[in-house]
Chains A and B, each alone.
Chain A
Amino acid sequence: MANFIEETVKAAGSELALVRGGSGRPLLVFHDELGYPGWMTWNEKLAQDRTLLIPSQPGFGKSPRIDWILDYRDLAGFYSQMVREMKLAPIDVIGFSAGGFIAAEMAAADPAIFSHMVLVAPMGIKPATGEIFDFFAVTVRRHLMATVADPANTPEYAKIYGGQMTPDRFEAFEDARAETARIGWEPFMHNPSLPHLLRGVKTPTLLVWGTHDKVVPRGCIDGYRDAIANSQVAEIDGAGHRPEIENVAEFDRVVRKFLAV
């Protein structure tokens, strides 16, 4: 059974919607560029041993947009203030896709802020080979379909994104895409200085990547691996950009092992 609540917290001079669930040591979760998709099986499993803190990014869902946040580095600064105000540091973090970009920016600015980082198919570094999929140049439906290797055989994909797109749902996705465009349009979903600023960061880091990821190429993972000395890669065979719903058991296993849950 899901044991989470939705609350509003004050952070860095603004209000933020936050999902809090589970029990145990806190674990901060940064959702991806399409927003918090809801409480999933992987949440339920980890929540048995950890307290998950899942903020909705400013401009997403019920969290109001913050105009002074102009790029992902500003957003990382905002979240760092939140971590300080909530006295959470050092804390473990999981960041998905653009959420991984946010976590990496935070670690680059303050290497002591996280005790462990799990970056799942993180954006943020320009890949030496391949390109981050330009999801702005496709409709939201096509973007969603690109995030999993096999939509028809991914039950939680169907649960969350399948079926008829309602106007409300469409509007929520468009809000997320608009805010992502506002802060990530150019340079597209990366920051050229990030790999340089990550050098010397010693935070134990797990880089999770599905071998069939159509959104973030392996080159991004290699960039992080080269930049962060204390990093390791966990490939999930056959998964796409959402290994946490495409292969829940394997995702849970590698994350638990790394975080020593």
Chain B
Amino acid sequence: MQIGYFTERPYRWLPEEEILHNRGYFAVSNSHFDREKAADDYHYYLDEYCYAEDLGFDVVALNEHHGNPFCMGSVMNVEASVLAYRTRRVRIVLIGNPLPVIKHPLRMAEELAEIDLISRGRLVTGWVRGAGSEQFFNNANPAYNREMFNEAHDFIVQAWTRPGPWRYEGKHFHYRHVNPWALPYQKPHPPMWIPGVLSPETVQWCAEHRYPYIGLGTQLGPTCDLWDFYADVAAKNGYQAGPENFGYLIPTVLADSEEKAQSIANNFVYGGGQNAFSAPQFTMPPGYNSKGAIRMLAKQQTSTWLGVSGEKIRESMEEGDTGAVNYDEVRRKLRSGLQKVQQNLQVIAGTPKSVIPKIKSILSVLRPGIFIMFSIQGPVGNDDRRTSMRLFADEVMPALKEHAKAIDLPDPFQRAPGSVKLSTGSSRIPVSDRSPLAELGLK
């Protein structure tokens, strides 16, 4: 099993009222940006990723968002470049570059090749479609999001593997001279892991390409459904999916006492948390989601990554009042919501003693070969962040590794995704185990 460390690198100096008043992190005015504090935090977060390597994490994971204090990674390839040089052992996982909003796959191929070279082959490169708000920020046509994602991906793989120079005339991208001099260190190219929040099209695409799919804090039951869908597509493509095809990333915080852990965990809903990533009008721009995805998301009762949920769809349809915000009432609801997602095991908070059985349960149900700790959000100090990391690495990680070994969860480096052949006509074996769900009080 690969165990990873991830943080959104939150901007920690924004008063919560600004986010609540704006009904989301996206579109809060950058007049609130403090360059000195931001400079300090960029240094801190890079140091924190290096600390994760020192603590023994297998991978460090980065992402990026645009125009959003929820995540200071605006151009993650810059941070990945620094880490490629500064670290020595960890794999650097990008989850992921938003291909359709960057709109320059040749440049992307060059940047990532350099990162892979500097790290001497430690890059795992993932792709995303970009959040809804990023279609606005980058003025990327949301109706072509999926097409541009697919075309950019196919182009990058070609740019890395097909000797140049050659010419490319696609639908959305056009290059007269493709011959990037810097090619990836890894052959034929770096591995790719794809994060997602239940979009069936993405899951199908991953299964067809034999790329591991990383569930971003999604509810366990629907996640099992999606794993099954992946495995069915895999079977049609002639292979048996297994733990090497799946990863799971979940908000996790550890402290020396339960009270302290709960107090820190409240910051996962700071300003509204993931559900307040962006207001409804920026979450689902026109044409960004397929009808199938919208119908599926409508069933998702609680919020998932970036606030995409049935609740958000209903808000889009009805758009509630826009009167004055009662901040205390909002906070009370947020805290109450946090208790619910903790019961659902979508946020894990506690001491190592209480956290270990919870994550072991998740591993038993979802059987992922990759588990990534999503570190604390909100304005939490460096000491508490590092304590959480240390407790996880020293006490939780060994228990998880042992459990993964006991229930046989090979990771993508131990068993290549898609390498277990399934002959035509034979049925696939289960990829998740729903039996503990009832005991956990979950569907």
- The tally of residues in A whose CB lies under 8 Å from a CB in B reads 20
Is the C-beta of B281 less than 8 angstroms from some C-beta in chain A? yes
Is the C-beta of A171 less than 8 angstroms from some C-beta in chain B? yes
Is the C-beta of B142 less than 8 angstroms from some C-beta in chain A? yes
Cα(A185)–Cα(B288), bound, Å: 12
Are A139 and B280 in touch, CB under 8 angstroms?
yes
What does the 1/0 interface line of A163-201 toward B look like (CB < 8 Å)?
A: 001010011001001111110011000000000000000
Are B141 and A141 in touch, CB under 8 angstroms?
no
Interface pick from B28-36, B316-324, B365-373? B316-324
A residues less than 8 Å from B282 (CB atoms): 137
Task: Give chain B's interface residue range (CB within 8 Å of chain A).
Answer: 20 to 34
Partner of A165, one of B285, B291, B294, B318: B318
Is the C-beta of A136 less than 8 angstroms from some C-beta in chain B? yes
A residues less than 8 Å from B139 (CB atoms): 185-186
Is the C-beta of B420 less than 8 angstroms from some C-beta in chain A? no
Cα(A167)–Cα(B294), bound, Å: 11
User: A165 and B286 in contact (CB under 8 A), knowing A179-B143, A186-B141?
Assistant: no
Are A137 and B318 in touch, CB under 8 angstroms?
no
Are B318 and A181 in touch, CB under 8 angstroms?
no
Are B143 and A182 in touch, CB under 8 angstroms?
yes
Q: Which of A139, A165, A171, A177 has the most CB of B within 10 A?
A: A139
What does the 1/0 interface line of B30-73 toward A look like (CB < 8 Å)?
A: 00000000000000000000000000000000000000000000
B residues less than 8 Å from A177 (CB atoms): 286-287
Are B285 and A181 in touch, CB under 8 angstroms?
yes
Is the C-beta of A5 less than 8 angstroms from some C-beta in chain B? no
Summarize B's interface: helix, strand, loop or mixed: helix
Is the C-beta of A152 less than 8 angstroms from some C-beta in chain B? no
What does the 1/0 interface line of B319-334 toward A look like (CB < 8 Å)?
A: 1000000000000000
Interface residues of A in 137-163 (CB under 8 A from B): 137-142
Are B294 and A181 in touch, CB under 8 angstroms?
no
A residues less than 8 Å from B281 (CB atoms): 137-139, 142
B residues less than 8 Å from A137 (CB atoms): 136, 281-282
Is the C-beta of B168 less than 8 angstroms from some C-beta in chain A? no
CB distance from B314 to the nearest CB of A (A): 9
CB distance from A72 to the nearest CB of B (A): 14
Cα(A186)–Cα(B298), bound, Å: 29
User: A178 and B318 in contact (CB under 8 A), knowing A137-B281, A142-B281?
Assistant: no
Are A178 and B319 in touch, CB under 8 angstroms?
no
Are A185 and B141 in touch, CB under 8 angstroms?
yes
What does the 1/0 interface line of B277-309 toward A look like (CB < 8 Å)?
A: 000111001110001001000100000000000
CB distance from B434 to the nearest CB of A (A): 29
Are A185 and B143 in touch, CB under 8 angstroms?
yes
Residue of A nearest to B285 (CB): A136
User: A181 and B291 in contact (CB under 8 A), knowing A138-B281, A139-B280, A140-B316?
Assistant: no
A residues less than 8 Å from B298 (CB atoms): 167
Cα(A182)–Cα(B319), bound, Å: 24
User: A181 and B141 in contact (CB under 8 A), knowing A136-B286, A137-B136?
Assistant: yes
What does the 1/0 interface line of B385-428 toward A look like (CB < 8 Å)?
A: 00000000000000000000000000000000000000000000
Cα(A174)–Cα(B291), bound, Å: 9
User: A181 and B319 in contact (CB under 8 A), knowing A137-B136, A138-B281, A139-B281?
Assistant: no
Cα(A177)–Cα(B294), bound, Å: 14
8 tightest A-B contacts by CB? A178-B287, A177-B286, A182-B143, A185-B141, A181-B286, A165-B317, A181-B143, A178-B286
Interchain residue pairs with CB less than 8 A apart (16)? A137-B136, A137-B282, A138-B281, A139-B317, A141-B316, A141-B317, A142-B319, A167-B298, A170-B316, A174-B286, A174-B294, A177-B287, A179-B143, A182-B141, A182-B144, A182-B287
8 extra interface residue pairs, beta carbon distance < 8 Å, beyond A139-B280, A139-B317, A177-B287 = A136-B285, A137-B136, A139-B281, A142-B281, A170-B317, A171-B294, A178-B286, A178-B287
